[in-house]
Structure 1
Amino acid sequence: MVYCTKCGFENADSSKFCITCGNKLDVNISRPNPQNDFQNNPEPMDYNPNNQGYEEHHFNSNQQYNETNYNNNNNSFEQGMNDVGNYINDLGNKTQDSILNYRKNKEEKHARKIQDKNALYYLNGREAELFAYEDYLEFDFTEDYFKKITSRWGGVKKIYYHQINSIQKRDAGSLANGSLEFEVQGNVRGKQQRIGNFNENLVHYYKKYEAEATALYEFVNQKIIESHKGVTQAQVVKTEDGPLDKLKKSKELLDMGAISPDEYEMIKEKLLKEI
């Protein structure tokens, strides 16, 4: 049998041309071994599906192709996962560095701000920064977006100590933030001093600022006591009877017969000198 190298058909030994495709035949070329051909040429080229050995060659070729493709895909998947892992690690490192830099810059900014304001006490609260001076307490809402919302878009508010009725402090715990709340004259608790869901006279703080909050609380509380004590004394002096009031009461005692006319004249003469 003479094998056709073009279509793979096996012709009779006496044939000079392929009866299927017309290709000139070479009697010296024999049919190749499918196993050897598969090893040398994994992809089927000139095999005819009707010829013997094609199915075996086609199956082996596809099997090798699938195994190669699987290995390539598996390697690509592992490489992709490694790339994703490296990207996540880099992103995490960059995020951590950004957070550390942000905190560092914020602490430096706070330090400069305290130095510039020359306050006696300072607390970095969530809703506002508190600066305590000798005569008043300052609420600074300009630090960030949250503080601006709390105070209707920023600004600085001053409250003198005699305007504060009381101050309440809740210590920070392991799960809850601490707070300082100021009851200010002229504000109705829960109504006028609240803006949305915020109370601009209520400041929360993180546990790491507990020492600063305690120091500011003790200072402000003492200032409130001193200012109220001065107001109370002034009110007491103001409510004492004056000379005319005393003279009026002396006349009433005279009319009642509790004192003599001579005693009344002595009191009258003394009180008239005080007017």
Structure 2
Amino acid sequence: MAFCQNCGNEVEDGAKFCPGCGNPLDGSAPTQQEQSQGILGDIKKTGLGFKKKMDNYAHGEHINYEKPEGALYFINGLQGTLAVFEDYVEFDFSGSGIKKWQSGFGGVKKVYFHQINSIQKRDATELVNDTLEFELPGMATSKWGPTSENLITYLPKYQDEVNKIYDFVNDKILAINQGKSQPTQVVQNEVSPMAKLKEAKELLDMGVISQEEFDEIKAKCLEQM
């Protein structure tokens, strides 16, 4: 077993750095740049760790929000949870006091895909939580505000699920819009030969057509049977 010449801490054989002070064990002292990078790295790790703990608490990650039955996708956001079903999306802002305050709404809101004009995604990173927002007719998109009824702020851990939701909803909106643009087809019901013959007989009985005209119609109807 070896010992660090800088702090005297006991180190394992073959170790390149002291686990106590970080001093190289090959006898060379760390450069000023290496020391700075080490300090900044420690600060970053500490800061990210604290941010993660605070974000997890604010988003309610300590609460077990279960994916609703039948939901295709599900995320737990700051304002509430978002569940995506085959025909609609459902916001649930009733999970906690924080969610009710952040959403400025509370309760549960169901939005069908034909009601959605567009969907906007701002990707999250290690340092930034971001948002998934739905634009509905007559409602302007929010400017990063926390009180939109159609916005969910999500943690980086949900980025893959958010990407799937974004693609799924966009496909739904596109399919609905393409369906609206298709020309309307007028379906004409074809009258059967027997119905034509019956109508001609009624016209003959009323004196509207002659016997000769009726016989012509009758011959054509019999050919079509």
TM-score by structure 1 length? Answer: 0.42
1:50-82 superposed Cα distances (whole Å, 9 cap, x missing partner): xxxxxxxxxxxxxxxxxxxxxxxxxxxxxxxxx
Q: 1:54 corresponds to which residue? A: none
Matched, 1:135 2:87: yes
Aligned residues: 131
TM-superposed deviation, 1:197: 5.2
Q: 2:176 corresponds to which residue? A: 227
Distance 1:198 1:104 in 2: 20
Q: CA RMSD in A?
A: 3.1
Distance 1:170 1:153 in 2: 22
Please identify runs of 4+ aligned residues in structure 1 that moved more than 4 A. Answer: none
TM-superposed deviation, 1:126: 1.0
Distance 1:203 1:175 in 2: 17
Q: 1:185 corresponds to which residue? A: 137
TM-superposed deviation, 1:124: 1.1
Q: Which has the larger radius of gyration?
A: 1
The amino acid of 1:213's aligned partner reads: V
Distance 2:79 2:99 in 1: 5
Compared CA separation, residues 104 and 199, structure 1 to 2 (3 A): closer
Name the SS of the counterpart of 1:147 in structure 2.
Answer: helix
Distance 1:186 1:201 in 2: 13
Q: 1:149 corresponds to which residue? A: 101
Matched, 1:125 2:77: yes
Report 1:77-226 matches (<5 A).
106=63, 109-110=64-65, 113-114=66-67, 116-152=68-104, 154-190=106-142, 198-226=147-175
Could you list the runs of 5+ residues in structure 1 that have no partner in the other structure?
1-95, 241-275
Could you list the runs of 5+ residues in structure 2 that have no partner in the other structure?
1-52, 187-225
TM-superposed deviation, 1:190: 4.5
Name the SS of the counterpart of 1:134 in structure 2.
Answer: coil
Distance 1:127 1:190 in 2: 14
Q: 1:72 corresponds to which residue? A: none
Distance 2:158 2:164 in 1: 10
The amino acid of 1:140's aligned partner reads: D
Distance 1:119 1:159 in 2: 14
Distance 2:97 2:136 in 1: 25
Report if aligned partners of 1:172, 1:210 keep a CA contact under 8 Å in 2. yes
Structure with the larger RCO, 1 or 2 (CA within 8 Å, 6+ apart): 2
Report if aligned partners of 2:104, 2:148 keep a CA contact under 8 Å in 1. no
Report if aligned partners of 1:136, 1:158 keep a CA contact under 8 Å in 2. yes
Distance 2:61 2:146 in 1: 31
Q: 2:184 corresponds to which residue? A: 237
Compared CA separation, residues 228 and 150, structure 1 to 2 (3 A): farther
Name the SS of the counterpart of 2:164 in structure 1.
Answer: helix
